[in-house]
Amino acid sequence: MTDRRAGSVGNRRVTIDSDRRARPTQLVVPARSRKKLEKVSQSHDAEETPSPVPSPLTAMSEAASPPVAKRRWRRSWRSPLTRRILALNTLVLLIPVFGLLHLTQYQSSLIGSELDSLRIQARAFSLSLANSAVVTAQVGEEQLVPDQARSLMRVLLAETGVRARLFAETGGILADSYVLSGPGGQVQMIELPPPEDGIPMTWMGRHLDRLVNWLPGQDNFELYTEASKQHSDDYMEVEKALKGDSPGMVRQDRSSHLVLSVAVPVQRYRRILGALMLSTGGSSIEAAVRDRRIDILMVCGVALGMTILISLYLAGNIARPLVRLAEAADRVRYGKGRQYEIPDFTSRRDEIGELSGALRDMTEAMWNRLDAIEGFAADVAHEIKNPLTSLRSAVETVARIEDPSQQKRLMAIILDDVQRLDRLISDISDASRLDAELSRAHTESVDVGRLLDALVEVHRATASEGGPRFQVEVSDNRPLVVQGIEGRLGQVLRNLISNAITFSPPDGLIRLHAERNDNDIVLSISDEGPGVPEGKLEAVFDRFYTERPKSEKFGTHSGLGLSISKQIVDAHGGKIVAQNRYNGSGEVTGTCFKITLPAEEA
């Protein structure tokens, strides 16, 4: 049987809030670490002048956690996270910018407008040629006169920058506005490119055009070539014009500059006498497209600068707190003492704030756990010291006396102390293993109503005459099923039933009740005993606190029963409380232990 009243020992008491209760933890030292400690101990024993030996907890922590080189943290702007944020944001901006630099639709609209303008000029010029440069031969056949066509070309195309070529019906070239006849023969004119606006803009435009032309998706125009002796076969649009069409054509010269051309038929009274081809360079189109690209690049440059600044700010806002948290965790890890703490970023109200809060709670839980281990070790040492002191006194005394009866009494005391030590060490071992076992065990559906009935039947079958009576009330309106470990929940109920039996008077009544209250399962075990002293209703769950009936033999219980029960209930997400029962006149008529566990969801 285990007791139900565990509490503080002496003046020592560990107080921890309900969310972070101290739980005994078994300290396991690896074999390699134990060998290291033995070597250290032997080396100290071998020295003539003994040096101070560290405490066991310090030695075990140092042995279990070998020193690790301290990490060197990068600056936030050099961190991989900053580079990734910067690269992704820049890439997201540059992809649509490169798409805009194509300007294919804008360029196509400019080319279409230029071809329409050339076609209008060509039709007007062809009408002028049909009216002014056509003569009638002796046989009545109408022909184009090359000299008159050249003169008309010089007049009409002097300031336009457009090149005109006139092809005969047979395909031969009759006139070219870039070829003039003079006293020394024909003179070919070559149009010079317009003056450059400035070296920086020219360099930028040239390299920008080269970059854009290198990108996929650009229009690949036909290469413009010009034979020394031109013929209509060299130009597809001229061939179509001789058949009555008015096509346009876009080509590129060897310098990747556009050459636009339009050919229209020259006809008189519906008879096609030749074809007029007007061509011009695409410098104005290229300049317009280049200006738009430069505008896009300027806007992109401003947006890129803003993106970089925002990315650096965003990365710093993320990376800098993370670096500070990591450095603080390192200081807590390698620091001596508790003067270091995790920075508080919970005011950010984001994931980093949640991480900061979690790290602070984890650090606080770690310190609480260390305090609990230290307190548990001190309590264990205190509890073990009492029977050891009694055992030592009895052993020293039995060696000095010769009276057989007194020796027999001392041997009985020694045997009781040994049994008390054995029981105490067993309970301590169970308590120290409980935390690790609860964290590893798998939960299952447990019907606490049936479990309570089974335990009561066992006690009824083994009860002696004159023992307490049991009254079980299990509500069957709703299922009383929880998620938990059946063996440990049974241990809690056995402890409480055993305590109730211990404190119940002869033929006393022990009431056991189980019901479902909304989303909770409530279990209560009450007896008709003397109750718990005032002010000790919470202390009964402390370790090594014991208050047993006067008739019970001293040292029968270790004072860990209710502490272990509370630990098990807490691990299942429940709550256990102790209450005194009163009659109408305010007298204590017994004790009731109430357990509340979360019900399993249907």
Give the tens place of pLDDT for each residue, 275-310. Answer: 999 999 888 888 888 888 788 888 888 888 888 888
Q: pLDDT at position 182, please?
A: 44
Q: pLDDT at position 588, please?
A: 85
CB atoms within 10 A of CB 529: 23
Pair type for strands 173-176 and 163-168: antiparallel
Task: Report CA-CA distances (Å) from 262 to 122, 191, 251, 301.
Answer: 7, 19, 11, 40
C-alpha distance across the termini of the chain, in Å: 36
Q: List the one residue out of 124, 312, 290 whose CA is nearest residue 211.
A: 290
Q: Has this prediction a pTM greater than 0.85? A: no
Reading the block at residue 494, the tokens are 């056995």
Query: Superfamily assignment of 110-189+207-281 in CATH?
Result: PAS domain (3.30.450.20)
Q: pLDDT at position 263, please?
A: 94
Q: pLDDT at position 238, please?
A: 92
Q: Pick out the chain residues at pLDDT < 50.
A: 1-69, 73, 182-185, 187, 198-199, 217, 554-555
User: What's the CA angle centered on 443, arms 442 and 449, to 5 degrees?
Assistant: 150
Q: pLDDT at position 194, please?
A: 55
Q: For residues 101 and 296, is the Cβ–Cβ distance under 8 A?
A: yes
Task: Please report, for the chain, the start and end positions of each structural domain, with discontinuous segments joined by +.
Answer: 110-189+207-281, 440-598
Q: For residues 279 and 260, is the Cβ–Cβ distance under 8 A?
A: yes
Q: pLDDT at position 25, please?
A: 36
At 444, give phi and psi (nearest 5°): -150, 170
Q: pLDDT at position 139, please?
A: 65
CB atoms within 10 A of CB 236: 14
CA distance 413 to 430: 26
* CATH number of the structural domain 440-598: 3.30.565.10
CA distance 469 to 447: 23
Reading the block at residue 440, the tokens are 């590893």
Q: For residues 511 and 496, is the Cβ–Cβ distance under 8 A?
A: no
Token look-up 């060299």 returns 234
Q: pLDDT at position 221, please?
A: 85
Q: pLDDT at position 31, please?
A: 44
pLDDT tens-digit series, residues 54-73: 444 444 444 344 444 455 54
Helix (H, G, I), strand (E, B) or coil at 498: helix
CA distance 346 to 5: 40
CA distance 473 to 471: 7
